Amino acid sequence: MSTETAVGALLRARYRVLELVGEGGSGAVYKAEDLRLGGRLSAIKEIRPDPYATTAQLEQSHTQFRREAMTLAQLDHPNLPKVYDFFVDGGRSYLVMDFVAGSDLRQIVDQARARGQFLPEDEVGNWLGQLLDALEYLHSQTPPVIHRDIKPANIKLTSQGRIKLVDFGLVKPLDPDDPRTITVVRGVGSLPYTPLEQYGGGSDHTDPRSDIYAVGATLYHLLTGKVPPTAQQRFLEPGLLPPPRSLNPDIPPLLEQAILAALAMHPDKRPADVAAFRALLHAPQVTPTAAREAVWQQALRDNVALLALIIILLALAVLATSRALPMP
């Protein structure tokens, strides 16, 4: 079996392949025209079978693919391309969705960096709001849809200023042993944007906090112009991640705090979901004076019993001293 679908190939007697858009170890994405819809442009994601899978495993994968593709085809959100067809042909599974024209955010941040500029924080904030809307929608599905490959290159900006979260990057085989989340869009991801728990390549459990990490890494890149070190590098060398404001002082402190919280190594240290991440972005600003006062107040609360004991001992000491003093 060839590893690449040829340009000009006709899939399902309907989709004419125009070009290869992206390719990973176990799949690819093609730009194609839909001959039944007047040449409408489509993006076709091809998932290639595991060459070492047994016949039973392949059948199980195809069954799960169909079930999950039906779920994806029901998704409808302005910041997601619409999935409108799926099929299995020649042992390979295919998802057909809208083709999104325009530059991706990786190209846009690279262009700004080449000019010696940072992307405006308010513009990035607008993109972030749309991205979080899409993720909140995906995560609210039953079962949740975890994207697992959020990165600037997978976020397209249309001519209308709308972003679309696409999946033109690395694709991996389906994981039929983990029914807890939709797996059609699951993969190892791109390492600078991938949390440590996702390094298992699909066998480890992931949840919305995995996508939150990728959002934090994406924001870090967009606002600093620098790709963050991978989670593996940070695990081996703690402190390797420079604070965003050390690279771009114009980043608001509150936004920096939210980015660093999203990039926490352990999932339990990250915002639990999109709503929690939004709350961090809009938390009241804490001044240094207020922070010091809060520390003292917490210390007092934590040690109230000890303080009471000290006061009692001081009172007893004063009383004993007064009794020991000679009368005038």
What's the sign of the alpha-carbon dihedral 209, 214, 216, 219?
Answer: negative
- C-alpha to C-alpha distance for 217 and 194, rounded to whole angstroms: 8
| Sequential DSSP letters for 269-289 | GS-SSHHHHHHHHTPPP--HH
CB 172 within 8 A of CB 185: no
Q: Is 205 helix (H, G, I), strand (E, B) or coil?
A: coil
Determine whether 273 is an active site residue. no
Q: Angle between the 208-224 and 253-262 helix axes, to the nearest 10 degrees?
A: 140
Residue 202's Cβ-side half-sphere holds a number of Cα atoms within 13 Å equal to 18
- C-alpha to C-alpha distance for 59 and 72, rounded to whole angstroms: 20
3-state helix, strand, coil in the chain (%, to 5): 45, 15, 40
Considering the candidates 98, 110, 122, 149, report the single residue annotated as catalytic: 149
- C-alpha to C-alpha distance for 184 and 173, rounded to whole angstroms: 8
CB 3 within 8 A of CB 15: no
Q: Which residues are catalytic?
A: 149
